[in-house]
Amino acid sequence: MFAIDPYEWKREQALKFGATEAFADIASAAASIAESTSGLMWHKVIVTVGRIEGREVETWMQLTAKGGVGVVTAMDSVMAIDVTLNLAGLSLLQKSLQGSLFGGGNPQYDIPQIYSLEQIDDGYRDMLEGRNIRGVIRFTDADRSKPPRA
């Protein structure tokens, strides 16, 4: 399993979680992927970036093998409707493109690392500095009764 992430810390975490190699970007990973798969590419490509634009989808699908599945867990604006995708490659190579949000699970129960409302500043700082793998802010009924912060 390979991981691609611009943050070095996240690449280190990916290696701890079982990735065999980690790269800063797709371009630096593509040759190693092709070499390790004898040019067949990956059977499954799971894109878990925070935000993806439609023009980037084909770049990820190029890493997907014949008969493989590309899974996109990120999105751009909910109003965005354009996706760049090579339809010949999709059809001829029998690839599938699938969307997924929270892996079909319930983040309230499934995501172990969460920030409380009191930790919101820490959560945003960690996100902006690339220190958390995925951050979620949990609101409780008690949070609704608190006065606004100054």
Domains within the chain, CATH numbers bracketed: 2-102 (3.40.50.720), 107-144 (no CATH)
| 45-86 residue pLDDT tens | 988 887 889 999 999 999 999 999 999 988 888 898 999 999
Q: Is 143 helix (H, G, I), strand (E, B) or coil?
A: helix
| 81-100 residue pLDDT tens | 999 999 999 999 999 999 98
**Average model confidence (pLDDT) for the chain?**
84
pLDDT given for residue 64 in this prediction: 96
Please determine, for residue 116, whether its predicted confidence score (pLDDT) is greater than 80: no
